[in-house]
Each structure stands twice: as structure tokens, then as C-alpha cells.
Amino acid sequence: MKIVRDYILILGVIGLLIGLLFNNIILPLYVNWNDEIRVPSLTHTDLTEAEKILTERKLHFAVKDTVYRRDIPDRFIMDQYPEAGQMVKENRKIQLTISLPPAKLEMPDLIAITQRQAAIALEKLGLMLSAVYTDSSDLYEKTVVIEQSVAAGLPVAPGDSIYLTVSLGKRNLKKTMPDLLNKGLDEAERVLQKRGFTLGEITFTESDELLPNTVVSQSIASGKVFPKERMVTVDLIITEGF
């Protein structure tokens, strides 16, 4: 009898433990599993399609981050959390990383600053200095930017390629003294101004062969070469009037 009572007691304890296990662990797991939803794959879809898919499954989304890549369309899903296939509760928000271009930037004015300063300015905006060309300039010193491929104020986006032209310095331009002999005074003055020279002192001389105010001599011989930026004054001798 005692053995039978012991068996009954043991069976009762085992039954109680099984009941507690079922009520507190197995049953809640079963119920929760039925309430959960498998996360769909949202990558390689756009945000509109992703929202539709989530709504059908009673799920929501939140934009966790935005990434800009020129080879991927706008509002394209690039990553998600939780990952596809995981089980989540109803109304869970799926965190998405989407492709979204940044706000448009304005191209800065790089003219008249050095190549190094221009490169720093472009880098701060995420623009790419793709090439640097050179050319002579009478206005800007060596290494100073004289031209940019995108005009200042136009819209640009990070990753855009920019080309610059920087100065090699002045072209070392020359000017040549014209031949003024036998020209009238007015014409001689016009020629001098056009060539970058200045009319200086005028001296008169008598002549029976030439018309009045005709140049018979110039203080600087024709053909002489000067740097273009140098100021050169030319004195003339012309015939007197009648």
C-alpha cells in the first residue's frame, strides 16, 4: 500500500510540474508565436512599395538613415532592421536605410583664389576636383584660378566633377613702336594710343615739301620692342602750318 501511495504521490507531482510548464512556458510561447509576423524582404524595392508591403502585414517603418549613391534611384531601400525572415510583433516599426540625394548646393566662386584654396573649398562641399588645366593670364598671378567648369551660383551635388584652369602668369606680351613718319599728327596720335604708347612733346619744323602737321621725326625708332605693361612716351617733330 505504501508503494502505491508513493507512486500516486510521484505521479501527482509530475502532473503538477507538467501543468505548470504548459501554462507558464509552452502555452505563452504558442500564443506569442501565433501573434508574431515574419518580416518581409524590403531591400531592392522603393519606399512606396515597401510601405504597401508592410501595411498588408500590419507593420510600419521608420527611416533610420539616408545614403546617397549616384548609381541607385531615389527612395530605394538599401538596408533594413530587423532582417527579412525574423519574427516580430504586430505594429512593429521596421527601420530602413534609403537612398536619398542631399539638398542641392550652390557652386562657390573660385575665381581669383589659389588652386589650393579652391581644392579645400571643393572638398568641404564633397565636390571632386577632377582636372586642373593651365593657361597664361595678364590679370592673375601664377597658381590663381582663372576659370571653373561650373559657374558660381549654379546647383551642384556631392560627387560632381569640377574642372579648374589656373594661371601660369603673364604672357610676357610685347608692343612694337610703329612707324609714324609722314603721318598727320592726329593719325599718329591714334596709332600710338592703339599700340599702347603715349604722345609726348611736340616740336615744330619748317618744310616746303610736306603738308602742315606731318610727322618728320620720332624720338623712338620704329620697330623697337617694349613690354606691354611699360609706359613709353614718344616725342614727335612735325611740320609747321602755313
pTM for the model stands at: 0.40
pLDDT means over runs of 10, the chain (242 residues): 57 62 52 70 90 92 84 88 91 90 84 95 91 87 92 87 90 86 93 93 90 93 88 94 61
63 DSSP 8-state letter: E
Q: For residue 98, what are the CA distances in angstroms to 47, 83, 101, 127, 218?
A: 8, 15, 10, 22, 79
Cis amide linkage into residue 212, ω under 30° from 0: no
Q: Tell me, what's the pLDDT at 9?
A: 60
Q: Tell me, what's the pLDDT at 10?
A: 63
Q: Tell me, what's the pLDDT at 221?
A: 94
End-of-domain residue from the set 82, 99, 116: 99
CA 157/CA 74 separation, integer angstroms: 14
Structural domain of residue 129, as residue ranges? 106-167
End-of-domain residue from the set 47, 74, 99: 99
Domain count, the chain: 3
Regarding whether 150 and 69 lie in a shared domain, the answer is no
Regarding whether 83 and 115 lie in a shared domain, the answer is no
Q: For residue 54, what are the CA distances in angstroms to 59, 63, 80, 85?
A: 5, 14, 12, 13
Q: Tell me, what's the pLDDT at 5?
A: 57
Find where cell 604722345 sits.
199
Q: Tell me, what's the pLDDT at 28?
A: 47
Regarding whether 208 and 124 lie in a shared domain, the answer is no
